[in-house]
Chain A
Amino acid sequence: MADPLHQFQIQKIVDLPDVTLPGIGPVDLAITNSHVAMTIAFVVVVAFLAIVTGGAKVVPGRLQSVGETLFGMIDNMTDSIIGHDGRKYFPFVFTIFLFILAMNVLGMFLSFTATSQLAITATFALLTFGLVLVVGFARNGLGFFALFWPTGAPLVMRPVVGLIEFFSFMLRPITLMLRLFGNMMGGHIALKVFAGFVATAVIGTAGAAGFFIAPLSLGMTVGLTALEFLVAFLQAFVFAVLTCIYLNDVVNLGHGH
């Protein structure tokens, strides 16, 4: 059976000469399949929004209402979770949601899923975590550390609860990164494993049992493909919701929102 992990390999498409950066060392600038997948996702998002808003009418057409639904969904989300100041953070959440959604969904059509690379999900998680830190310190100053001093708990318990809060805060980028990565990688491995069963049965390696294995595995592949489309949307949505919740923690710090 073919290696189900082969799809996650980074392959160079156009090899460019290495560049040596001071302090970092040699950097490989080759254009890889990962670059290509992300660029396509970027172009798709920009083109989609350009088409949708190009001929905007008061009564939206079919395409325009798709764009308006996506826009309205994230707008509602930032509004209901972050509250009054939600609009300010809408561009960040919407950008990250659309980009992840485009990469997830394109992963179902291309042979490479950009979000199944740990480096890419880690970048998104660090961006979000960094924004939360910056917003937290900019809005609250050193009052940001009140996040780790739960006034609702009894005084004796506060250091302990605060320590737990601190660790769960520091774990946020890691879980954010691993959730997206794990879901995309897991789903695509399962898809390829079942597709591999079909191929194994069809070429006759499994003998007569192949007559039962092939249709069963093919049905499973079809079902899993449908599930993967759901997961592709759900994971982008969950990433956006969690970004909103983490931003809400620091935006409405101490307001008990």
Chain B
Amino acid sequence: MEAEAAKLIGAGIAMSGMIGAGIGVGNIFGNFVAGALRNPSAAASQVGNLFVGAALAEALGILAFVMGILIWIS
């Protein structure tokens, strides 16, 4: 296999770390909606927590994404 091809495949595989971020963010928003439907009056006060949780989960996916981009352009 050529080195260039291996590099591109590696960059693609590195991006697979974003799968976990997708699952995590989906979980957070799904559980938020589930909780908000049970107790709508408490939902508004938890929106800040929701976005912080989503941002923290997403950060790990972003790490994988940046890795992939670094491999791609290096």
Question: Which A residues fall within an 8 A CB radius of B?
Answer: 5, 77, 80-81, 175, 178-179, 181-183, 185-186, 189, 234, 237-238, 241-242, 245
- Surface stretch bound by A, among B4-12, B26-34, B47-55: B47-55
For this complex, 19 residue pairs linking A to B, each with C-beta atoms less than 8 Å apart, are A5-B73, A81-B48, A175-B56, A175-B59, A178-B59, A178-B66, A179-B55, A179-B59, A182-B62, A182-B63, A183-B58, A185-B69, A186-B65, A237-B51, A238-B52, A238-B55, A241-B51, A241-B52, A242-B52
Tally of chain B residues near chain A (CB < 8 A): 13
Q: A81-B48, A178-B59, A241-B48 known; 19 other A-B pairs, CB under 8 Å?
A: A80-B48, A175-B56, A175-B59, A175-B63, A178-B63, A179-B59, A179-B62, A181-B66, A182-B62, A182-B63, A182-B65, A183-B62, A185-B69, A186-B62, A186-B65, A189-B69, A238-B55, A241-B55, A242-B55
The number of A-B residue pairs with CB atoms under 8 Å apart is 38
The interface residues of chain A lying within 8 Å CB-to-CB of B63 are 175, 178, 182
A179 touches B69 (CB 8 A): no
Interface of A is mostly: helix
Interface of B is mostly: helix
* Contact of A182 (CB < 8 Å), options: B51, B56, B66: B66
Bound Cα distance from A183 to B57, whole angstroms: 13
* Contact of A238 (CB < 8 Å), options: B51, B65, B69, B73: B51
Bound Cα distance from A175 to B52, whole angstroms: 13
The interface residues of chain B lying within 8 Å CB-to-CB of A181 are 66
**Chain B min CB distance to A253 (Å):** 20
Bound Cα distance from A156 to B51, whole angstroms: 34
Closest 10 CB pairs of A and B: A182-B62, A238-B55, A175-B59, A179-B59, A182-B66, A241-B52, A182-B65, A178-B62, A179-B62, A178-B66
